[in-house]
Every structure is written in structure tokens, then in C-alpha cells.
């Protein structure tokens, strides 16, 4: 977990304009196997295979199944999308994890580093926002991770788990809230469009 939490401090430093000259390139790398949201997902679903993948690997997986749709089977359409959990104050003694379910807002006011986990069943082209700001892998204010999911041990990827981390103290003004939104359009069934959102208040 140490490398992962160091990435949070590097992220916060970049948001606040702090220079991190003393941090080595190796220490800057996120150890995705220690992603706390992925670890929670594994604990809740011990029969699932949760494998951390890069943005490039996600694109390759989706392209491969799309190309095989004639000779084998098409990529499974998106059938479900859920905001699974919101965590705040990550890396402190006051870490707090909340399972979201059908809630429209977190029950707690966030502070510090926040992580949001989203479960996507099937294959889709997806986007996510905090307020009006588009969240991407390359955006310097966010750490974005993805894991592939195999629900039944057949070595076929059934969906993806998306995790995004950011400094809520810099992104959400104290005493206000922002809407986090995730949208996916099914890769092979574009009429299958699902959108989920959660209101996140800041202390």
C-alpha cells in the first residue's frame, strides 16, 4: 500500500503546486495491485478474478473481442453499471469507505484523497466527470485505474471495474458538493447506454 499512498501524495502535491523533486521515478509509479478499492472488491467477491490492467490493455481487450465477433463471439454488451463505493481521507487514520448501492449522495462529507469505484458489466465505451470536468487517464489531477473482471473463472472477461482518485480539498469547495458521473455506451449494442451519478459533499 505504501507505493500507492505515495502516489496520492504526489497527486496532491501536483494539484497544490508542490515540487516533488525528491521522489524517484520508481516511487512515482502506482502499484495497482495495492489499489484499496480493488482490494475491497476482491474481499467482497472472493470468487471473482480481478486483474489490474492499463488503459492500453483495456483498449486491446475490447478491440480483440470486437474483431472476433464474426468467428467467435461478440463482446458482451453492457448490461449493468453501478457506483460501488466511495472512500475518503485515504492514507490517513480516518479512512472511510462507503458502499453506495442505490444512494444518490454519499452519506458522509468527504475530505482529503477520495476514491470512487464503478462496476461495469459487459464492454462499453465510457466517460466520467467530476462536475463539468472530464476525467481521463492523462489528466494530471486524477489517478485512474481499471481492472478486468472474470465472474465465474472461465477466463473470459465479463466486465471492468473503474477506480478514480483525486484530492477533494482542491476539487470540491468546503461546504459545497459536486456531482460525479459515469456514462457507458455498449460497444456492440450502442442503444445500450447507461449513466450513473453520485453527489459528493465536502466537509
For residue range 144-175, list pLDDT tens digits in order. Answer: 999 999 999 999 899 999 999 999 999 999 99
Summarize pLDDT for 104-147 with one digit per residue, the tens: 999 999 999 999 999 999 999 999 999 999 999 999 999 999 99
Question: Which domains are assigned to the chain?
Answer: 35-201 (2.60.40.10)
The DSSP result for the chain, as a single string, is -HHHHHHHHHHHHHHHT---TTS-HHHHS--GGG-HHHHHHHHH-TTSEEEEE-HHHHHHHHHHHHHTTTTS-PPPBP-EEEEEEEEESTTSTT-EEEE-TT-SB-SS-B-SEEEEEEEEESBEEEEEEETTEEE-TT-TTEEEEEEEEESSSSS---EEEEEEEEEHHHHS-TT-EEEEEEEEEESS-TT-EEEEEEEEEB-
pLDDT for 28-54, tens place per residue? 334 444 799 999 999 999 999 999 999
What does the pLDDT read at residue 2? 43
Q: What is the pTM of this model?
A: 0.84
Confidence of residue 184 (pLDDT cuts 50, 70, 90): very high
For the chain, percent of residues with pLDDT exceeding 70? 78
Amino acid at each position: 500500500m505504501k507505493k500507492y499512498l505515495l502516489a496520492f501524495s504526489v497527486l496532491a502535491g501536483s494539484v497544490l503546486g508542490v515540487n516533488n523533486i525528491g521522489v524517484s521515478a520508481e516511487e512515482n509509479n502506482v502499484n495497482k495491485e495495492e489499489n484499496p478499492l480493488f482490494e475491497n472488491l476482491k474481499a467482497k467477491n472472493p470468487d471473482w478474478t480481478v486483474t489490474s490492467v492499463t488503459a492500453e490493455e483495456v483498449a486491446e481487450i475490447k478491440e480483440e473481442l470486437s474483431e472476433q465477433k464474426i468467428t467467435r463471439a461478440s463482446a458482451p454488451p453492457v448490461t449493468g453499471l453501478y457506483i460501488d463505493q466511495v472512500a475518503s481521507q485515504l492514507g490517513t487514520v480516518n479512512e472511510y469507505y462507503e458502499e453506495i448501492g442505490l444512494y444518490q449522495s454519499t452519506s458522509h462529507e468527504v475530505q482529503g484523497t477520495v476514491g470512487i469505484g464503478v462496476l461495469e458489466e459487459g464492454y462499453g465505451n465510457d466517460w466520467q466527470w467530476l462536475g463539468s470536468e472530464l476525467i481521463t487517464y492523462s489528466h494530471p489531477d486524477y489517478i485512474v485505474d481499471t481492472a478486468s473482471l472474470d465472474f465465474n473463472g472461465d477466463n473470459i472477461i465479463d466486465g471492468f471495474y473503474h477506480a478514480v482518485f483525486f484530492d477533494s480539498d482542491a476539487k470540491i469547495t468546503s461546504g459545497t458538493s459536486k456531482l460525479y458521473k459515469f456514462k457507458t455506451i455498449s460497444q456492440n449494442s450502442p442503444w445500450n447506454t447507461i449513466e450513473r451519478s453520485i453527489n459528493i459533499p465536502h466537509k
